[in-house]
Structure 1
Amino acid sequence: MKKNFLAAILLAGMMSAGGTVWAVGGADAAPLAAVMAAAAQQDEKTVTSPDGMTFLKVGLKDGRAYYKVGYYANGKEGRKEVTMLEESPLGLVTNFADFSRDLVWVKEQAGTRDIRYDLERSKASRVDKKANTFTVRLANAKKQEMEVEFVVEDHNVAFRYFLPKQGGTGSVRVMNETTGFRFPGKTTTFLTPQSDAMIGWKRTKPSYEEEYKADAPMGTPSQYGHGYTFPGLFRVGEDGWVLVSETGVDSRYCGSRLSDAQDGLYTVAFPMPEENNGNGTPEPAFALPGHTPWRTLTVSRDLAPIVETTVVWDVVEPRFTTEHKYKYGRGTWSWILWQDNSINYDDQVRYVDMASAMGYEYTLIDNWWDNNIGHKRMEDLIKYAQGKGVDIFLWYSSSGYWNDIEQGPINIMCDPITRKKEMRWMQQQGVKGIKVDFFGGDKQETMRLYEAILSDADDHGLMVIFHGCTLPRGWERMYPNYVGSEAVLASENLIFNQHFCDNEAFNATLHPFIRNSVGCMEFGGTFLNKRLNRGNDGGTTRVTTDIFQLATAVAFQNPIQNFALAPNNLTDVPAFEIDFMKEVPTVWDEVKFIDGYPGRYVVLARRHGQDWYVAALNAGKEALKLTVELPMLAGTAVSYYHDGKDGKTPQAEEAKVAKNGKFKLTLAAQGGAVLKGKAL
């Protein structure tokens, strides 16, 4: 009765205002009874993917909006509905309106969308697919309105909220979201916790560098009590997998995370007030009309759609275009092994020379260069590098006032006037990119800084890598000069503590399914030193094999790869390893999942032009024998890199993939394999 009454009020208000009353599922005027029935109805509306196998259900219950997601399975007893996300809440609470309760269904509209774009910097250079769309308009008891927009692809669902202008109100502050993800009780999780704010090195956290727990029981409390960072991977028993993330975050919203679970329900949580040293509000604000970022789900019986998904780029649009042509490639990087003391003119010359010898496009010069080399002598170093066919990336701190970083250059990237002046100098010298480090959290204030740096850098022809930073959220498509983010427990941690070396293989076999599945990952890896120091004679000890390291150059995707090679590797490792590292590309046309399980092993294939690279990583302490199917290389000869019969002696040989596409792999303990061949 209450809903019918509200519907009638809503209709009267719309008619008196001269508004159009939409029929359910269309744009024609509808009789009062139809509109009232639509507003009062609680029946679920079902939307399926173009292939008919993924479903989304949306409904109202007791004035609260919800959705469910799953897939259809064909079994002996016919088609079966498999629910992967149970009844999960939708809604926003804003400073002027509550869209989480007392809602009525105003109208709905279904449609289709063609998704076509080119994106050289991601896992697929060309995307061409179809999606079905569904939008529902809801109104609260005060007749204030909100829409929820859904995009349903094969294996993927994305949704966001849209707020029209509300009378004379032209802006909104979102106080919290009731958006949630409710999983069945049999679910286990693959999650990494959100850290406390303002802890760690020079009070620079959170920085998305915490450790994963694999196959943890759902409901396990997060390490710091702040929930989990995106993305999150969930295994729903034997029914399959769900990958949850968000995309489309820019200067108009904050980055979000997952709360701890309550009875299987994870909700969207905003940044902690302490982030950014307390600067900025946790709650985002934007102008009306406006929308929130997209929440994304990839749902499947098996892991291939998880590894291969492109949904985080499918639903976003470029924020600006560029007049520049950016070149992607490989780089050398002294800091990762030689550390701060290497940031001097002579050592950087050695790394430039190594980049030239490898045929690499770039050398990254890390922190303290302003102190130890200086701007004037840096101009000479840049000219020297250019004479060797090598271009330069320069490191900068993001900071000013939200952490205690001393490494220079500081107090530049956070100041728009100083930033533009510095970027003009870099453009004049021919610098090609910057690496900006030590951000302060996920507040909207920080998202504005990311976007401002990207925008100003593009004005000066500079590519941008972010480090000590948040997860990229669709940025490869949104910003033409964006070329990677760390946002992971990356290579530097292998230098700092033996624990991370001991767990390197475990973490590496997670990333293709989780972190690297939703965005570029600037890991900075591929070590060929056995001891991780300057002399290859001290410090932490690498426990993975050389071939494992070669395989990560393929398994980890980022369009600019600053590898952890050292000048001594040119002569102290087998020549075929260096030859492989000279040839390996950093941009790919497509990716195919072959086999694996998160945290145990992974086999995936990436294509660059006509060349297929198959990378295999084993996290186990025992050798692993696999027979994999490689239809893209069926019947062809391939270069085969493996760890030898003893599991310790790297080998390179020619091999043949069977005509049926099958190939037998033996992966050494914490070892790997790589195959390289041409598609027929």
Structure 2
Amino acid sequence: MRIKPLLLCVIIFCITIDLHAQEIFSPNGKIKVVVSLPNKTANEIYFTTFYKVNNGFIEAMPASPLGINRADEQFVNNLQLTKESKSISIHDRYQIVCGKRLLCENFGTEKTFSFQNSNHQPINIVFRVYNDGVAFRYEFPDRSFTAKNILDEATTYNFPDNTNRWMQPFEAAYENFYPLNKTGIGEGKSRQEWGFPALYQVNDQPVYVLISEANISENNCAAKLSNLQNKNQYKVVYPEQRKEFPHTGVVTTLPWSSQWHTLIIGKLSDIVESTLITDVSKSNQLKETNWIKPGAVSWIYWANNNGSKDYKKVVEYVDGAAAMRWPYVLIDWQWDIMSNGGNIIDAVNYAKSKNIKPLVWYNSSTNAIDTSNNSNDWFKYATPLFRLNTPEKRAQEFSWLRKIGVYGIKVDFFAGDQQDMMKYYIDILKDAAKYQLMVNFHGATVPRGWQRTYPNLMTTEAVYGAEWYNNGPTLTNKAAAHNTTLPFTRNVVGAMDYTPVTFSNSQFPHITSYAHELALAVVFESGWQHFADKPDAYHSLPEDEKNFLQNFPTAWEDTKLIDGYPAEKVIMARKKNGIWYVGGLNGKDERQTLVLNVNFLKDGNYELQLIKDGHDDKSFLSEKIKVKKGDTIKVECLARGGFAGVIKKMKE
């Protein structure tokens, strides 16, 4: 049979596609990754990501290059495919101590591509396509006892042009805003570097992608993104050298695996509810976890803009925690020079006498601290210093804390995202667990999956939070929009110590309503929720509002995004012991009606205790409403207002 020329061309094209582009599908068929392999005309590797809308796929991320470089070898444009694995089904179920839900379950498809470079050195690129996103990583499978320096990656994410994006200009402590940005061009002094996570909308489609990374080990650094060369091309960039760590990237023996590069994909509800960051992270490494207890914390710093050197002030916050039935009090910095009636031992004993569990603050002593340098003078007062920097010092300190009855630590002021800092974080978590101490990281990198691996990690700051009301006027006018952006960005990837729910003012005022502030307890997830206001501000609340906070849980069985859009509005529902807690925020500077749909309820009759804006931003209106599955409740919110509520099933 004679084949027509046109048909022959189609056949050749199809064979070429089959040989040089491999498709990987998620188990539910919604996400497809096409890996374009090297061939005679193209010697680089790309991946393209598609998402199914209605009956067809749209391009969620255009073709994006892959590759990685070591000081001794490059693995970018000189690779030859040597093997590709069969597709492997991934199905994982695990419990997590605190997070969006107690029981996490994921389904995915894994495929490994093995290559060698022109010097016959091997590398694997592993893809996992989950029902809610994509993860991939690099592996050097051969063995070498000589340390290798992994310098950088060619990994680049290509964004669709003119798409909405919400990205935080990079800052070492990840304390910045996520403004809506269409151009990809930063403002002010930005060097076109951006921190994880990074959210964008796929053109005008109701499809979103949140980019981050997970499963950082002692042999990884944490990365950021740079679009300096092209506004729509975001390259993965390793942190710069530091005096204490004079290397770029990672220094390690082989075999070696990179972090998982992650893309959560879908509707905004898919983004917010995803557990992909912990799904791809190493499983729990602690033998026992029954000593790990999430809970509410009374926090001394915010209202006083000072530490805990005043014993009587600490006593006030212990009494405040007891009155609010919160399990914890944080004794913040300068506790080592406490006076005015008692010292740290007296403070710990007083807390225990009130059945309150004390937590204490530490300086990581890594952030360019030089007490001989006048420019760093203030660090002299951020004490205690240099108590956790070696295994021996940690053992001594943690043993003492356990002996006197401390339950956890807050470690602050980390130096950056270099490999030595990643190791330091992990060493603290491991060593603290030996003494049954829970941990809170401040002035730190964003979560990258440790919440699963080391469940004594209760929360991490890495957010422009309420503490900034102490530092300047900026948050005052931006808080409402910022608060309604964080659930779609920063808080997706892990617990967030924003230190919320303030009714009085610190150094600079807030203009969000009281109901907005109350709702933050629900909207923001954190294993330790540090309530930042002074005790009197909580004691003076009306009965319903006080009762809401007195009985508030901080670890959840389930989480649902009911409605929302970054910087405009958000409505969240979280479940604990069969009770649903709801919170809604108006991110606009004008009135807005928020619609609470309770379709997440099971059949039956329920009662909603709704607390919403009153006649002004400093008053509440509380009411009880009978609801059932499928009902919608319209809540009128003030400018920068909100609502909170509790939904309980009624007795039959």
Normalising by structure 1, what TM-score?
A: 0.87
Which range is displaced more, 39-48 or 410-419?
A: 39-48
Which range is displaced more, 403-412 or 279-288?
A: 279-288
Summarize the alignment of residues 307-318 of structure 1 with structure 2, pairs less than 5 Å apart.
307-318=272-283
Deviations 1:36-63 (A, max 9, x none): x999975311111111111111112412
Contact kept in structure 2, 1:185 and 1:264, CA below 8 Å: yes
Give the aligned residue type for 2:250: P
Q: Is 1:654 aligned to residue 624 of structure 2?
A: yes
Deviations 1:302-325 (A, max 9, x none): 211110110001011136214452
Provide the residue aligned with 1:631 in structure 2: 599
Provide the residue aligned with 1:644 in structure 2: 614
Q: Is 1:207 aligned to residue 173 of structure 2?
A: yes
| Residue in structure 2 matching 1:54, options 2, 23, 31 | 31
d(CA) in 1 for partners of 2:22 and 2:97? Answer: 37
Give the aligned residue type for 1:118: Q
Summarize the alignment of residues 496-515 of structure 1 with structure 2, pairs less than 5 Å apart.
496-515=471-490
CA change 1:445–1:646 in 2 (3 A) is closer
Give the aligned residue type for 1:473: R
List structure 1 runs of 4+ shifted beyond 6 angstroms: 37-41
d(CA) in 2 for partners of 1:675 and 1:305? Answer: 23
Secondary structure of the 2:74 match is coil
d(CA) in 1 for partners of 2:634 and 2:450? Answer: 38
Shift of 1:417: 2.1
Provide the residue aligned with 1:26 in structure 2: none
Provide the residue aligned with 1:20 in structure 2: none
Shift of 1:660: 2.8
Shift of 1:328: 1.3
Summarize the alignment of residues 363-378 of structure 1 with structure 2, pairs less than 5 Å apart.
363-373=329-339, 377-378=343-344
d(CA) in 2 for partners of 1:613 and 1:312? Answer: 24
Shift of 1:180: 1.2
d(CA) in 1 for partners of 2:284 and 2:422? Answer: 14
Provide the residue aligned with 2:470 in structure 1: 495
Q: Is 1:245 aligned to residue 220 of structure 2?
A: no
Q: Is 1:87 aligned to residue 52 of structure 2?
A: no
Stretches of structure 1 lacking an aligned partner (at least 5 in a row): 1-36, 196-205, 533-538
Summarize the alignment of residues 441-480 of structure 1 with structure 2, pairs less than 5 Å apart.
441-480=416-455
d(CA) in 2 for partners of 1:106 and 1:246? Answer: 27
Shift of 1:558: 0.7
d(CA) in 1 for partners of 2:633 and 2:567? Answer: 23
Contact kept in structure 2, 1:193 and 1:223, CA below 8 Å: no
Secondary structure of the 2:182 match is strand
| Residue in structure 1 matching 2:202, options 236, 257, 262 | 236
d(CA) in 2 for partners of 1:296 and 1:162? Answer: 16
Secondary structure of the 1:217 match is coil
Contact kept in structure 1, 2:122 and 2:142, CA below 8 Å: no
Provide the residue aligned with 2:8 in structure 1: none
Deviations 1:157-212 (A, max 9, x none): 0111111115x5654321110111111113221011113xxxxxxxxxx2111232
d(CA) in 2 for partners of 1:43 and 1:415? Answer: 50
Provide the residue aligned with 2:113 in structure 1: 136
* Number of matched pairs: 619
Which range is displaced more, 369-378 or 137-146?
A: 369-378
| Residue in structure 1 matching 2:502, options 479, 502, 527 | 527
Provide the residue aligned with 2:399 in structure 1: 424
Stretches of structure 2 lacking an aligned partner (at least 5 in a row): 1-13, 370-375
Q: Is 1:162 aligned to residue 142 of structure 2?
A: no
Q: Is 1:358 aligned to residue 320 of structure 2?
A: no
Deviations 1:473-529 (A, max 9, x none): 001001131111100111110122222122111111111100000011011111021
d(CA) in 1 for partners of 2:649 and 2:61? Answer: 38
Shift of 1:359: 0.9
Give the aligned residue type for 1:330: A
Deviations 1:554-588 (A, max 9, x none): 11111111101312124433222211110111001
Contact kept in structure 2, 1:335 and 1:343, CA below 8 Å: no
Give the aligned residue type for 1:139: Q
| Residue in structure 2 matching 1:184, options 151, 156, 160 | 160
| Residue in structure 1 matching 2:561, options 578, 593, 596 | 593
d(CA) in 1 for partners of 2:239 and 2:431? Answer: 26
d(CA) in 1 for partners of 2:419 and 2:298? Answer: 33
The alignment yields a C-alpha RMSD, in angstroms, of 2.2
Contact kept in structure 2, 1:42 and 1:59, CA below 8 Å: no
Give the aligned residue type for 2:467: E
Q: Percent identity?
A: 31
Q: Is 1:67 aligned to residue 37 of structure 2?
A: no
Shift of 1:217: 2.0
Provide the residue aligned with 2:221 in structure 1: 254
CA change 1:410–1:647 in 2 (3 A) is closer
Shift of 1:380: 2.1
| Residue in structure 2 matching 1:665, options 625, 635, 643 | 635
Contact kept in structure 1, 2:186 and 2:192, CA below 8 Å: no
Normalising by structure 2, what TM-score?
A: 0.91
Provide the residue aligned with 1:559 in structure 2: 527
Contact kept in structure 2, 1:334 and 1:365, CA below 8 Å: yes
d(CA) in 2 for partners of 1:445 and 1:243? Answer: 27
Secondary structure of the 1:395 match is strand
Contact kept in structure 1, 2:97 and 2:455, CA below 8 Å: no
